Structure 1
Amino acid sequence: MAMYRFTILTVSDRCSRNESVDTSGPLLQQLIKDYDDRFYVLDYQIVSDDKNVLKEFLIRWSNRSDVDCILTTGGTGLTSRDITPETTAEIIEKEVPGISLALISSSLSITPMAMLSRMKCGILNQTLIINLPGSYKACKECFDVIKPVLKHAIDQLKDSNEVDMLHRTMHNNLKSKVNKAPVADRERHSPFEMISIKEAQLRIFTEIGPYFQSDRNEMVIPAKILHKAFNLVLAHDVFASVPLPPFDASTKDGYAVIAEDGKGNRNVLSKASIAGLNEVTRIDRGFCARISTGAAVPAGANAVVQVEDTELIMKTQDDEEKVINIKTIPAVGQDIRLIGSDIPVDNLNPLITKYRRLSSIDLGLIAATGAKEIKVFRRPKIAVLSTGDEIVSAGQHRSWNCVWDSNRTVLMSLLLQFEVFDLGITPDSADSILNCLNEAMQNADVIITTGGVSMGERDLLKKVLKEDFNADIHFGRINLKPGKPTTFSTTTYNGKKKYIFSLPGNPVSAFVTFKIFVEPFLQLLSGKYFDFKKQKEANPMQKLLKWIKCKVVLDKPYQIDTRPEFVRAVITFSSLSFPEAKLTESNQTSSRLLNVMNSNGLLFIPSNQDGQKFLENGDFVDAILF
């Protein structure tokens, strides 16, 4: 969660000379501390009513990356030494007149003397500067006016995702049905049965069919932007409606000839057959015509002689070729691509079959056969959400008891080929989770969350899904390490089926479960489902993973867990033996993202329930390649 960092500057000649005790500065410190546990004061100083000194402090603090807001107190009156508003006006880049107006307006409702106060507010280097009066009472009254907007103002200046969260909440302020139970009454055991990895995958696959029943989620790609269909799944067969090449074409730069004329001299026609521009209508015996690679072979000609096998005998007065000598005997069809020789017209056998993931070559073939458009399956839209009071967005200030959110960064980088809606971070509040999920359902087909699915007292995600969205939770525990609390649920929202993958909060667990469950699911939802439905595969999700057999290289035996485990490893290949796999680290803790950094695969180690307690050097295991 974001922290909000303040500095306080008391501007007073008498306080700076210790002739008077400053009460407003300490008051502001206490007010900031008491208002919100994410508000804290970085620095507090007293300066004289000296323009240069005041300016130096304001600029120096504004240049600090850890200062969000500067509150000044004092120097806002009418005396010759009251220069705080003028100094502030000189340095700010933008004025925020609304805050100044609110302060004056509120103060006027209390005392007419507020007409004599000249409070200024503005921005310098993404730092908010607010001038407050010097009196203790006025300072407290003015802080009460500005405190409701301070968070939002600072978030806007920091381009924080909390701005979006607030805007969403303002427009979509739903209240959750989940009642906060006393901690002592929380569940001590998960109500969800522990299922196998295979069973979890089958339950996911079973839920895909309805996604395509009411809406096959197809989209049309016109020929002029065929490249945008790269890696999408074709929704129909594509047939070659025209031959390729669509005419007899030369494969060389040379001369179109009649093979039966043999070798010897030929009269050269004045016009030539150039690719895309065929000026020659016909060639008769004893004549030839210049021709370029890819150009149509003129009527009458049945061979092409490359220019290297000719010599010039006579030129015209305009230095054009008049007579050449053919030095070799041409054969019928020589250096000619016959019409349809690459791709013949075929309305029975598809050139590209439906349910194929389109490569660049596939798209080139479709373009070459003159298709005006194709239909492909649209990729699902995805929303990504992190949950947790202790999570802070990358790049934002972090208090000592919080961590930066790495899960969203990892997941969104794995989803670059999809349209992704970033929901940011939600605290562990049922209302906040409800509103974020509600917005996700409005914008996405698939929602991926991390955190909030274990047995903690503030792990509320499953309850919100069940009570607020009437979601079917198909599983909430998997016999798997890492990733036991992984949850998969579905619901219907505005008549559309929605899929929710709730992954554990630990970074490695989130990564591994994404690879095992979410990634193959997204391939199926992008159209591969029909391919496997046609083949009636027993477990299509397993089929989509790249399994290989590896020999393990270990410095010491690896203790096998009671649950099946996916261990991060570096897999190397040799033509002389089986691929070899070495663990990235002996420490395979699910919170330690470092053990994934150099890996290129996951080793699958069955549980020790089969009797084997340790994985030994040289043992063979199955592995999934990334």
Structure 2
Amino acid sequence: MQTTRVAILTVSDTASLDPTADRSGPAIREALTEQGFECPYLLIVPDDELRIRHTVQTWCEQGDIDWVITTGGTGFGVRDRTPEAIRPLIERDASGLVHLLLSTSLQHTPLASLSRPVAGTVKNTLVVTLPGSVKAVRENLQALLNGGVVNHALDLIKGGSGRSVHAVLASTASASQAGSVHSHSHGHHHDHGHAIPQPRSTLSHDPTAPVTARHRESPYRQLAIDEALDCILREIGPLPAVDAAVTPFLRGHVLAEDVQALQDVPSTYTTSVDGYALRSTDPPGIYRVLTSQTHPLSQPLPPGTIFRVNTGGPLPAGADTVIMVEDTRLHTSVRNDQGEDVEEETVETLAQVPSGENVRDPGSDTKGGDLVLEKGQIIHSAGGEIGTLAFVGRKHVKIYRRPVVAVLSTGNELLDLQAPNPMSGDGWGGIWDTNRPSLQAALEGMGYQVIDLGIVPDSIDAHVAAIQHGLSSADILVTTGGTSMGASDLLKPVIERNFGGQIHFGRVRVKPGKPTTFATIPTPGGPAERVPIFALPGNPASALVTFHLFVLPALRRMGGWPVDRCHLPRVRVHIQHEMRLDSRPEFHRVIIKASPGGFLAYSTGGQRSSRVASLCGANGLVALPPRGDNGPAKLQVGDIVDAIVIGELQME
């Protein structure tokens, strides 16, 4: 029988601060390893519902864990939230195991009636919650292991028939002894050379430990692109609404309220053309011309006169139609002292106009109280929405605040282009930091305020100081570098260990951008409960591609954009160069041009993740599918694929 892998999670505020206080987790590991189970993970998290759920979900989804055991947080204490964290994940309840755990504990103490165990499956992993005391843990494990209960369950979950377990039960029935955790042989092949990991409170490596202790494989499950995007939009919501004056500054913002017309528009009868207001009973003839300077609008139009109006202007009392300038002829004019024509005196009308001709009725555009713009409407720079607000007389409106973005780069090797400080050593002077300038240009071009936190050296103190500055001054942090498997890659450890942050994902199945990381950091007492942070790869092309893929949707959501509008638009394109396929989905940088036959996509050349020039001029990212086992190794010229639009399209 294949070795069963078990992940153990201790839930305890105390032990999360002092791992030596955890006795239940090591007790579970000791009992299981003696029975032949492999325990590759033994972690500690505080009594935080999101942290518990995230850790268990990560283990269940990564596909190499057969059984997850939690210990602690199952009682009635104020901080006991393990059942609430686990229940939403359970796909199939194991009510029998819950009954077994409760009945076992009740044999020892009536206080067990206050325990709230949960058991069931998440995907192909069994999840069981145990109490926090060492005594209760041992009693519950004894019940689960005796009689082959758990072994049988695990075999069935893996798709087995259970025959192997029944065979083991039959061969060991005479040797079985109730009351002993060690009485049943599970038939596992245990590698006694396996190094048992020490308890730790986070998934990231300890940056204070020797480099030999760093991870050789990432502990973070690699998410598909859609999973990562769903996670981002699930964890991030709009910032609070603010009141703003209706000015061009509103462009790019999102309405946080419905907007109704304050009154009828137009509020009175107005003309839709340039011409003269008159009565529909007036026949063609010669009329004296009145204007707003010579006749009040409120007084009826005298017989034998017409009233000059411009498009959008109101009609005087008594007028019910408008004749266009083109249907009139100047008859006489008023002259000044120099004999120059300065004003119309009389005009000849060439037609009789029916009632209502060229006239807009009151409220014909909008009636008072009509809904003219809905909450969630994006105010575009084309001006239509701002014009509508002004049209109905709104001087102020509620909008969602746009996020302020803090940007930093990490790495001792980086040099600031405007303030270079060459590295000392063997003549290698370092590399220019291209990420901050390019990201700042992209962000400010989209209308976001950017706080430049500079280049942060590879030290924990420097990382902590920079992130703290960002948390206190911005709504979201975007970092580049320090996300991979290097000994000096500090972002994940600092986020988890120094700020108590939660890493929602630490790897994405995408090229470029595999080590892209998304986390949230709690900020109690701050304007928000937590601040999102995106740690993007350090390679320039990777940073810009993942910015458009993952950061921009988050920024839009924080600014109140509807979820279905947060992603950049996609178009179908005909590729104009061969494009090799990778084992991962890849985003190939291209220039998209519109032609009579559709959109054409031209490659920008070499796609190496460090080659930022591959984004020079690029206005699109062709979404290449992963290479299949039996599929083609590349796409051919003329093949049609999706492309994400990241800039203004060109004409062929």
Q: TM-score, normalised by structure 2?
A: 0.61
Q: What amino acid is the match of 1:443? A: S
Change in 2 beyond 3 A, CA 1:333/1:450: same
Task: Give the aligned partner of residue 603 of structure 1.
Answer: 622
Separation in structure 2 between the aligned mates of residue 560 and residue 289 of structure 1, nearest angstrom? 73
Separation in structure 2 between the aligned mates of residue 178 and residue 435 of structure 1, nearest angstrom? 18
1:514 aligns with 2:533: no
Change in 2 beyond 3 A, CA 1:246/1:454: same
1:470 aligns with 2:500: yes
Q: Deviations over 1:457-489 (max 9, x none)?
A: 111111011011100001111111111111100
1:288 aligns with 2:288: no
1:203 aligns with 2:226: no
Separation in structure 2 between the aligned mates of residue 389 and residue 203 of structure 1, nearest angstrom? 32
1:246 Cα offset (Å)? 2.0
Matches within 5 A, 1:19-58: none
1:412 Cα offset (Å)? 0.5
**Which deviates more from structure 2 when the two are superposed, residues 256-265 or residues 445-454?**
256-265
1:418 aligns with 2:436: no
Matches within 5 A, 1:248-397: 248-269=269-290, 272-273=291-292, 278=296, 281-311=299-329, 323-341=346-364, 343-347=365-369, 349-359=370-380, 360-397=383-420
1:453 Cα offset (Å)? 0.8
Separation in structure 2 between the aligned mates of residue 573 and residue 363 of structure 1, nearest angstrom? 30
Task: Give the aligned partner of residue 267 of structure 2.
Answer: 246
Query: What is the total number of aligned residue pairs between the two structures?
Result: 424
Change in 2 beyond 3 A, CA 1:314/1:208: closer
1:372 Cα offset (Å)? 3.0
Secondary structure in 2 aligned to 1:385? strand
1:502 Cα offset (Å)? 0.1
Change in 2 beyond 3 A, CA 1:594/1:303: same
1:273 Cα offset (Å)? 2.3
Q: Deviations over 1:421-464 (max 9, x none)?
A: 11001100000000100110001111000001111111111101
Change in 2 beyond 3 A, CA 1:603/1:245: same
Q: What amino acid is the match of 1:406? A: T
Task: Give the aligned partner of residue 505 of structure 1.
Answer: 538
| Contact 2:206/2:214 (8 A) holds in 1 | no
Q: Deviations over 1:288-307 (max 9, x none)?
A: 33334433211001122344
Separation in structure 1 between the aligned mates of residue 641 and residue 346 of structure 2, nearest angstrom? 74
Change in 2 beyond 3 A, CA 1:228/1:193: same
Task: Give the aligned partner of residue 165 of structure 2.
Answer: none
1:430 aligns with 2:460: yes
Change in 2 beyond 3 A, CA 1:615/1:258: same
**Which deviates more from structure 2 when the two are superposed, residues 615-624 or residues 379-388?**
615-624
1:180 aligns with 2:208: yes
Task: Give the aligned partner of residue 619 of structure 1.
Answer: 639
Separation in structure 1 between the aligned mates of residue 632 and residue 346 of structure 2, nearest angstrom? 89
Separation in structure 2 between the aligned mates of residue 278 and residue 615 of structure 1, nearest angstrom? 77
Q: Deviations over 1:214-256 (max 9, x none)?
A: xx51111124xx2211121001111112222222223444432
Separation in structure 2 between the aligned mates of residue 521 and residue 506 of structure 1, nearest angstrom? 21
Separation in structure 1 between the aligned mates of residue 531 and residue 411 of structure 2, nearest angstrom? 23
| Contact 2:297/2:317 (8 A) holds in 1 | no
Secondary structure in 1 aligned to 2:261? coil
Q: Deviations over 1:156-189 (max 9, x none)?
A: xxxxxxxxxxxxxxxxxxxxx9652212222211
| Contact 1:304/1:336 (8 A) holds in 2 | yes
Q: What amino acid is the match of 1:184? A: T
| Contact 2:257/2:398 (8 A) holds in 1 | yes
Task: Give the aligned partner of residue 568 of structure 1.
Answer: 589
| Contact 1:178/1:464 (8 A) holds in 2 | no
Structure 1 spans left out of the alignment, 5+ residues: 1-176
1:287 Cα offset (Å)? 3.0
Change in 2 beyond 3 A, CA 1:317/1:465: closer
Q: Given the alignment, which residue of 561, 575, 584 partners 2:604?
A: 584
Q: Given the alignment, which residue of 221, 245, 248 partners 1:222?
A: 245
Q: Given the alignment, which residue of 548, 553, 562 partners 2:571?
A: 548
Secondary structure in 2 aligned to 1:589? coil
Secondary structure in 2 aligned to 1:527? coil
Separation in structure 1 between the aligned mates of residue 409 and residue 513 of structure 2, nearest angstrom? 16
Q: What amino acid is the match of 2:307? A: A
Secondary structure in 2 aligned to 1:623? strand
1:346 Cα offset (Å)? 4.6
Q: What amino acid is the match of 1:446? A: I
Identity %: 37
Q: Deviations over 1:581-621 (max 9, x none)?
A: 23211x21100111121322111222224532411323332
| Contact 1:278/1:296 (8 A) holds in 2 | no
Secondary structure in 2 aligned to 1:259? coil
Change in 2 beyond 3 A, CA 1:248/1:187: same
Q: Given the alignment, which residue of 460, 466, 470 partners 1:440?
A: 470
Task: Give the aligned partner of residue 17 of structure 1.
Answer: none
Task: Give the aligned partner of residue 194 of structure 1.
Answer: 222
Q: Deviations over 1:124-159 (max 9, x none)?
A: xxxxxxxxxxxxxxxxxxxxxxxxxxxxxxxxxxxx
| Contact 1:384/1:408 (8 A) holds in 2 | yes
